[in-house]
């Protein structure tokens, strides 16, 4: 049964990738949501499925016989909450960016890397250094 | 979002969610549940209560800022590992002081998780609530 | 205990000295003086050939100890550092009175002194590197004392980059030497000198150490930073370029000399670059009129002499190194301070504008003359003994007349520089100066007077330091106990003839110096093609390279960044999978179970997210993906996960819908058609790789050791029956702790964004 889910996993990753590359930040958020779910699914698959019984030790027993693999479940549990906070934080960030810049197009958000920042103005620096005056 | 129905039902949902969340938290070590789920349930209950009422009512309801919940939770979780030092064991080696009842420092750790989850979800919610 | 206590004291006193220095109290000199007195207690152990060693555990796993060693060489350096430090601190307290940022200055100056002490006393190469880099860092701050000036910034940066680059080379040498010797302990390395020198990696080690030492000691062609460092306040120049900073390279070479002294490469590198440096400095010194720069270039000459002497094998050379080192430190510190006094008193230190100052500042003139006579190497000054030894060392090497000629040129330039400082400025006709000159007060004169007097005292009575310091230090440099007795007068020897010749040539050159200087200054090739320009070219090239590669990599488009990252992941995963032969497909048998419906829902819902024409539809589709995953968890024995997933999905949808009212609701595709086509291919390829990877993983047999461990130990050891929770809060509690920290940080960061927006809103309202 897992191989079928491996195919679904591939579809989810492709969808997430396509959305993450979008220039619309809202679609990027949707991509993150799908990617988080795809990741959790992959951990679950790698730990194998098969048992429908939860990993609970019955009262009186000392070891779990049968039952689902507990380790991937523990890993996924925290991953779910973390990916939720990632999505929520990204949304907060995008919304404040939209408020400040008035756009949801990532290519129009160029405050940190302005288009014109090509040349390093070192000519002036050099000129200043050349005029070495030995004085205090 | 100011809906009459949500306002009315949330008054009932909030206490139920809080009690249920504590129950889930406490039974977590032996039955499905634990700090993560408990925290989410509590946060969802508080969210349902706060969404129709706005940011001010959320502040009144939870007494402190969500950040305080996060900080308190982290301190509690960190502190739950300290007794191990006393017994010269590695940090976060959990202790079970009572023979009769299954009550150990794991519960303290889980309470820390519970509070951090509540604080984190509410601080995101805080952001979106209308003033 | 004693050595480490002295080093620790020097470091810990820094804030106190900074505090006192901020008020320009002469008391700042007390710290170096106390340290000087402290190190004097080690003097009695030297004549017997003893070595004081102290070792403390630092990083035992790597064989790195905090080890300190006092022998003749390190004690000579320590005494110079503290002794000249005392003079410099006292001098600075008066010289810099009223200057800005004094508290910081004295703190850094003290830290610099402490780092120097640590470096010369360290008995562990790694410890030596640490202190070495600290001296680079603190000297950067000292040279850059006036950061508001562009030339100061450039000089400080240049000195820092060159010495630190050298330090890196040295670190590589240290690691090579350490792995070859099996220890970083200098004492232990000295004991196995022959084995190391004979090893095939010895040439590499020698080159790396030489690079470090040459950079620090300003050997040509890395000498440019030293002259440029003259932008520093004079007390700094007097300290850094007489007894400390630049001498550290010399110290390192002298320290390792017993190991490599007979190695052909060592001899060739040191004598070759030493001689080149002597000539370079001698020529460049003749071009300058600024007193400090003249002295700086003569320092380069001296450093070249020292490096050349270390390169020469033999006992005499070892004695020559030590005596020259001490002599140079004494007179150079004195003359730098004199240059500072002239500058302070007259407002200029351009020698072409100065003359006849003797009439207004007789004491300074006397001090300058004493220092200059020692520098010129006239009897009965100790400088005479040093010069004779240099010549003797050169003559002793048969057939090395080249070195003798180089030494002659170097010493002639010394005579000329000495005359420029002591005679030109103080004798002859009185020139008008920007300020009326007069002798400075006690604090500024005390140091130069004592240093100049010592040059005379040691010259007249060489036995004062001969057995107690010079010979033990020379023994440490030579690596074997020496039997030498230092005297001033050797009788009528070839060396004496050379000395007389030096003096005659020096006087002759000095009388024609004005013409010579103009001619030399007219050779602009030196300025246009010198190493200083090469440094500029290198720095500009580096910036251009950085700009070029930044523009290449950082296009500023997030879409491109994400696309490249995804493609890299797909390529890395896919290529590894195929190249390593890991691509195996599992069997699709047993696939027809009810859960297969969930897989279909997942794929369809995911595709629906892409197809969604507005944001709400997208959210609903993405929510459907989440709920399908939650359903799978529920059916596959993971109620905890299903529960969590349902609540998180609900909360996520609430938050998503909350922003719908605040952002453009309609889906708008900003990508152009070709962009979309390209992205589709990237997405398909990474999805394909992800699927194949997952399938290959599933085709592998399942390794259940961890699961079995948790299944068996949860109840007996962790007293819990819900394995998921037991793993979270007990077995992997540290991991969970990390997760909740991340969770908390994300929330706090979001709150910070919120606070920033509130502030912006308030500003808008105002």
Domains of chain C: 143-538 (no CATH), 559-701 (1.20.120.1200)
Residues of chain A contacting C691 with CB distance shorter than 8 Å: 6-7, 9-10, 13
Contact B126/A at CB under 8 A: no
CA angle C25, C26, C30 (to 5 degrees): 115
Residues of chain C contacting B104 with CB distance shorter than 8 Å: 719
Residue of B nearest to C725 (CA): B29
Q: Which residues of C touch B (CB under 8 A)?
A: 639-640, 643-644, 647-648, 650-651, 654-655, 658-659, 718-722, 724-726, 728-730, 733-734, 736-737, 740-741, 743-744, 746-748, 750-751, 753-754
pLDDT of residue C107: 95
The neighbour count for residue C632, using CB atoms within 10 Å, is: 25
d(CA C648, CA C655): 10
By the 10 Å C-beta count (0-12 exposed, 13-18 middle, 19+ buried), C136 is classed as: buried
pLDDT in tens, B85-127: 888 788 888 888 777 677 888 999 999 999 999 999 998 888 7
Residue of A nearest to C738 (CA): A78
Residues of chain A contacting B117 with CB distance shorter than 8 Å: 81
Residue of B nearest to C750 (CA): B124
Banded pLDDT at C133 (limits 50, 70, 90): very high
pLDDT exceeds 60 at position A135: no
Contact B44/A at CB under 8 A: no
- Which residue in C52, C45, C30, C39 sits closest to C7, CA to CA? C39
pLDDT exceeds 80 at position A15: yes
d(CA A32, CA C622): 10
Residues of chain A contacting C721 with CB distance shorter than 8 Å: 56-59
CA torsion through residues C188, C189, C191, C192, sign: positive
| Structure-model confidence comparison of residues C147 and C49, the more confident one | C147
Instruction: Give the closest of A78, A85, A92 to B120, CB-based.
Output: A85
pLDDT of residue C187: 93
pLDDT of residue C371: 94
Residue of C nearest to A134 (CA): C231
pLDDT exceeds 50 at position C763: yes
Phi, psi of A113, rounded to the nearest 5 degrees: -125, 80
Residues of chain C contacting A86 with CB distance shorter than 8 Å: 746
Phi, psi of C263, rounded to the nearest 5 degrees: -75, 130
> Is residue A131 in some structural domain?
no
Q: Which helix (H) or strand (E) holds C412?
A: helix C401-419
Please tell me the number of Cα atoms within 13 Å of B31 on its side-chain side: 6
C23 Cα to chain B: minimum distance (Å): 44
CATH of the domain at A22: 1.10.287.3510
Residues of chain B contacting C644 with CB distance shorter than 8 Å: 36-37, 40
Contact B120/A at CB under 8 A: yes
Asked if B127 and C754 come within 8 Å (Cβ–Cβ), the reply is: yes
| Structure-model confidence comparison of residues A110 and C211, the more confident one | C211
Choice among B9-13, C275-279, C624-628 with the minimum mean pLDDT: B9-13
CA angle C302, C308, C311 (to 5 degrees): 145
pLDDT exceeds 60 at position C194: yes
d(CA C501, CA C304): 21
Asked if A9 and C609 come within 8 Å (Cβ–Cβ), the reply is: no
Residues of chain C contacting A12 with CB distance shorter than 8 Å: 602-603, 606, 625, 687
| Structure-model confidence comparison of residues A95 and C335, the more confident one | C335
Asked if A22 and C760 come within 8 Å (Cβ–Cβ), the reply is: no
C731 Cα to chain B: minimum distance (Å): 9
Q: How many domains does chain A have?
A: 1
Cβ burial C59-85 (10 Å sphere, 16+ → b, else e):
eeeeebbbbbbbbbbbbbbbbbbbbbb
- Which three-class secondary structure state does DSSP give residue B46? helix
Asked if A13 and C656 come within 8 Å (Cβ–Cβ), the reply is: no
pLDDT of residue C756: 79
Domain of B92 in residue numbering reads as 4-128
pLDDT in tens, C401-453: 888 899 999 999 999 999 999 998 998 888 888 888 888 889 999 999 999 99
Asked if B124 and C655 come within 8 Å (Cβ–Cβ), the reply is: yes
The neighbour count for residue B3, using CB atoms within 10 Å, is: 11
Instruction: Give the closest of B92, B104, B117 to C719, CB-based.
Output: B104
pLDDT exceeds 80 at position C11: yes
> Is residue A80 in some structural domain?
yes
By the 10 Å C-beta count (0-12 exposed, 13-18 middle, 19+ buried), A60 is classed as: exposed
Asked if A15 and C668 come within 8 Å (Cβ–Cβ), the reply is: no
Instruction: Give the closest of C654, C720, C748 to B29, CB-based.
Output: C720
| Structure-model confidence comparison of residues C758 and C249, the more confident one | C249
Share of chain C above pLDDT 70, in %: 99
Residues of chain C contacting B116 with CB distance shorter than 8 Å: 740, 743-744
pLDDT of residue B62: 85
Residue recorded with tokens 């040093």:
C386
Contact A101/C at CB under 8 A: no
Phi, psi of C55, rounded to the nearest 5 degrees: -130, 130
pLDDT in tens, C519-555: 888 888 878 888 888 999 999 999 999 989 988 888 8
Contact A63/C at CB under 8 A: yes
Q: Which residues contact C515 (CB under 8 A, 6 or more apart)?
A: none
Task: Locate C179 and state its tokens.
Answer: 């792995």
The neighbour count for residue A88, using CB atoms within 10 Å, is: 26
- Which residue in C83, C754, C89, C311 sits closest to C762, CA to CA? C754
Chains contacting C with at least 3 CB pairs below 8 Å? A, B
Banded pLDDT at C274 (limits 50, 70, 90): very high
How big is chain B, counted in residues? 131
Q: How many helices (H) and strands (E) does chain C have?
A: 34, 2
Q: Are A84 and C517 in contact (CB under 8 A)?
A: no
Banded pLDDT at B131 (limits 50, 70, 90): low
- Which residue in A19, A128, B38, A74 sits closest to C619, CA to CA? A19
pLDDT in tens, B28-79: 888 888 999 999 999 989 988 888 888 888 888 888 888 899 999 999 999 9
Q: How many domains does chain B have?
A: 1
> Is residue A113 in some structural domain?
no
d(CA C477, CA C466): 15
pLDDT of residue C282: 94
C764 Cα to chain B: minimum distance (Å): 17
C41 Cα to chain A: minimum distance (Å): 39
Residues of chain B contacting C733 with CB distance shorter than 8 Å: 81, 92, 94, 106, 109
Instruction: Give the closest of A56, A88, A92 to B31, CB-based.
Output: A56
Q: What is the mean pLDDT of residues A58-84?
A: 88
Distances (CA, A) of B91 to A118, B95, C706, C724: 51, 11, 22, 21
Q: Are B94 and B82 in contact (CB under 8 A)?
A: no
Contact B124/A at CB under 8 A: yes
Banded pLDDT at A102 (limits 50, 70, 90): confident
Instruction: Give the closest of C643, C718, C721 to B37, CB-based.
Output: C643
- Mean pLDDT, all residues of chain C: 90
Banded pLDDT at C493 (limits 50, 70, 90): confident
d(CA A50, CA A65): 14
pLDDT of residue C684: 95
Banded pLDDT at C171 (limits 50, 70, 90): very high
pLDDT exceeds 90 at position C501: yes
- Which three-class secondary structure state does DSSP give residue C659? helix
Asked if C652 and A33 come within 8 Å (Cβ–Cβ), the reply is: yes
Q: Are A84 and C747 in contact (CB under 8 A)?
A: no
pLDDT exceeds 90 at position A31: yes
Query: How many CB contacts within 8 angstroms connect chain A with chain C?
Result: 334
- Which three-class secondary structure state does DSSP give residue B58? helix
- Give which of B36, B93, B130 to mutate to test C binding, by max C Cβ within 10 Å: B36
Q: Are B65 and B57 in contact (CB under 8 A)?
A: no
Asked if C729 and B29 come within 8 Å (Cβ–Cβ), the reply is: yes
d(CA B100, CA B106): 16
pLDDT of residue B98: 76
Residue of B nearest to C732 (CA): B92
pLDDT in tens, C293-306: 999 999 999 999 99
Distances (CA, A) of C418 to C339, C368, C412, C424, C506: 12, 9, 10, 9, 10
Q: Are C595 and C636 in contact (CB under 8 A)?
A: yes
Check residue C56 and report its DSSP letter: E
- Give which of C637, C658, C680 to mutate to test A binding, by max A Cβ within 10 Å: C637
Domain of A77 in residue numbering reads as 1-49+68-108
Q: What is the mean pLDDT of residues C219-242?
A: 92
DSSP string for B6-39:
HHHHHHHHHHHHHHHHHHHHHHTTTSS--HHHHH
Which segments of chain A does DSSP mark as H helices, in order?
Answer: 2-20, 25-46, 70-101, 123-130
> Is residue A72 in some structural domain?
yes
């Amino acid at each position: 049964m897992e191989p079928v889910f491996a195919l679904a996993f591939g579809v989810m990753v492709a969808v997430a990738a396509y959305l993450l590359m979008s220039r619309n930040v809202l679609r990027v958020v949707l991509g993150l949501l799908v990617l988080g779910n795809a990741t959790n699914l992959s951990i679950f698959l790698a730990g194998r499925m098969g048992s429908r019984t939860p990993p609970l030790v019955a009262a009186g027993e000392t070891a779990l016989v049968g039952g689902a693999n507990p380790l991937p479940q523990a890993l996924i549990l925290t991953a779910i909450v973390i990916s939720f906070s990632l999505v929520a934080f990204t949304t907060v960030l995008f919304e404040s960016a939209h408020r400040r810049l008035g756009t949801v197009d990532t290519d129009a958000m160029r405050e940190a890397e302005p288009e014109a920042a090509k040349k390093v103005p070192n000519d002036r620096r050099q000129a200043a250094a050349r005029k070495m005056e030995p004085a205090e | 979002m100011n809906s009459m129905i949500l306002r009315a039902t949330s008054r009932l949902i909030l206490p139920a969610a809080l009690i249920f969340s504590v129950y889930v938290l406490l039974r977590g070590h032996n039955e499905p549940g634990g700090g993560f789920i408990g925290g989410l349930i509590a946060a969802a209950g508080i969210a349902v209560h706060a969404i129709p009422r706005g940011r001010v009512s959320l502040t009144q309801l939870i007494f402190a800022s969500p950040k305080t919940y996060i900080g308190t939770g982290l301190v509690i979780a960190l502190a739950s590992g300290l007794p191990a030092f006393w017994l010269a064991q590695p940090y976060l080696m959990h202790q079970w002081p009572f023979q009769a009842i299954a009550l150990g420092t794991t519960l303290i750790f889980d309470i820390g998780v519970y509070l951090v989850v509540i604080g984190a979800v509410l601080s995101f919610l805080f952001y979106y609530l209308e003033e | 205990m004693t050595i480490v206590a002295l080093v620790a004291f020097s470091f810990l006193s820094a804030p106190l000295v900074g505090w006192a220095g901020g008020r320009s109290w002469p008391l700042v000199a007390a710290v170096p003086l106390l340290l000087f007195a402290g190190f004097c207690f080690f003097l009695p152990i030297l004549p017997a050939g003893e070595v004081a060693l102290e070792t403390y555990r630092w990083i035992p796993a790597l064989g790195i100890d905090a080890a300190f060693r006092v022998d003749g060489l390190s004690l000579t350096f320590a005494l110079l550092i503290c002794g000249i430090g005392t003079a410099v601190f006292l001098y600075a307290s008066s010289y810099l009175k009223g200057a800005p940022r004094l508290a910081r200055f004295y703190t850094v100056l003290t830290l610099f002194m402490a780092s120097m002490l640590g470096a010369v006393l360290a008995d562990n190469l790694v410890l030596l590197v640490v202190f070495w880099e600290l001296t680079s860092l603190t000297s950067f701050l000292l040279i850059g004392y006036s950061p508001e000036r562009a030339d100061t910034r450039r000089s400080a940066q240049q000195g820092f980059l060159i010495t630190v680059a050298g330090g890196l080379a040295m670190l590589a040498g240290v690691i090579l030497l350490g792995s070859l010797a099996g220890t970083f302990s200098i004492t232990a390395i000295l004991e196995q000198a022959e084995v190391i020198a004979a090893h095939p990696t010895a040439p590499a080690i020698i080159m790396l150490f030489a690079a470090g030492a040459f950079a620090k000691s300003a050997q040509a062609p890395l000498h440019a930073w030293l002259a440029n460092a003259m932008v520093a306040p004079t007390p700094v120049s007097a300290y850094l370029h007489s007894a400390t900073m630049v001498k550290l390279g010399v110290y390192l070479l002298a320290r390792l000399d017993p190991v490599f002294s007979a190695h052909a490469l060592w001899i060739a590198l040191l004598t070759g670059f030493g001689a080149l440096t002597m000539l370079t400095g001698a020529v460049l010194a003749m071009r300058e009129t600024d007193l400090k720069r003249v002295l700086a270039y003569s320092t380069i000459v001296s450093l070249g002499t020292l490096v050349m002497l270390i390169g020469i094998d033999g006992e005499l050379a070892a004695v020559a190194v030590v005596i020259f080192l001490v002599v140079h430190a004494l007179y150079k510190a004195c003359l730098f301070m004199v240059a500072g006094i002239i500058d302070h008193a007259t407002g200029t230190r351009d020698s072409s504008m100065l003359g006849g100052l003797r009439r207004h500042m007789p004491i300074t003139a006397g001090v300058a003359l004493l220092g200059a006579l020692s520098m010129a190497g006239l009897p009965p000054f100790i400088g005479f003994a040093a010069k004779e030894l240099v010549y003797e060392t050169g003559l002793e090497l048969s057939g090395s007349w080249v070195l003798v000629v180089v030494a002659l040129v170097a010493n002639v330039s010394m005579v000329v520089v000495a005359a420029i400082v002591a005679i030109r400025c103080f004798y002859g006709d009185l020139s008008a100066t920007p300020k009326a000159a007069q002798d400075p007060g006690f604090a500024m004169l005390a140091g130069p007077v004592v240093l100049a007097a010592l040059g005379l005292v040691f010259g007249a009575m060489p036995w004062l330091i001969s057995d107690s310091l010079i010979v033990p230090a020379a023994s440490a440099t030579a690596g074997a106990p020496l039997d030498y007795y230092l005297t001033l007068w050797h009788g009528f020897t070839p060396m004496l003839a050379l000395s007389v010749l030096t003096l005659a040539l020096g006087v002759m050159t000095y009388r024609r110096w004005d013409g010579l200087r103009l001619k030399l200054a007219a050779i602009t090739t030196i300025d246009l093609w010198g190493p200083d320009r090469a440094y500029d070219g290198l720095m500009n090239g580096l910036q251009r390279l950085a700009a070029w590669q930044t523009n290449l990599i950082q296009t500023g488009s997030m879409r491109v960044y994400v696309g490249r990252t995804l493609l890299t992941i797909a390529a890395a995963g896919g290529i590894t999978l195929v190249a390593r032969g890991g691509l195996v497909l599992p069997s699709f048998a047993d696939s027809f179970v009810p859960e297969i419906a969930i897989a279909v829902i997942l794929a369809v819902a995911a595709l629906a997210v892409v197809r969604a024409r507005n944001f709400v539809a997208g959210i609903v589709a993405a929510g459907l993906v989440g709920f399908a995953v939650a359903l799978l968890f529920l059916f596959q024995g993971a109620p905890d996960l299903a529960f969590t997933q349902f609540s998180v999905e609900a909360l996520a949808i609430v938050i998503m819908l909350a922003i719908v009212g605040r952002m453009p609701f309609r889906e708008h595709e900003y990508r152009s058609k070709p962009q979309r086509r390209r992205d589709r291919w990237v997405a398909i390829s990474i999805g394909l790789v992800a699927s194949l990877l997952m399938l290959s993983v599933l085709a592998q047999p399942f390794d259940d050791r961890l699961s079995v461990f948790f299944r068996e130990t949860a109840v007996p050891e962790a007293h819990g029956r819900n394995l998921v929770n037991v793993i979270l809060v007990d077995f992997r509690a540290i991991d969970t702790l990390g997760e909740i920290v991340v969770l908390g940080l994300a929330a706090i960061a979001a709150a910070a964004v919120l606070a920033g927006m509130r502030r912006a809103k308030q500003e808008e309202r105002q």
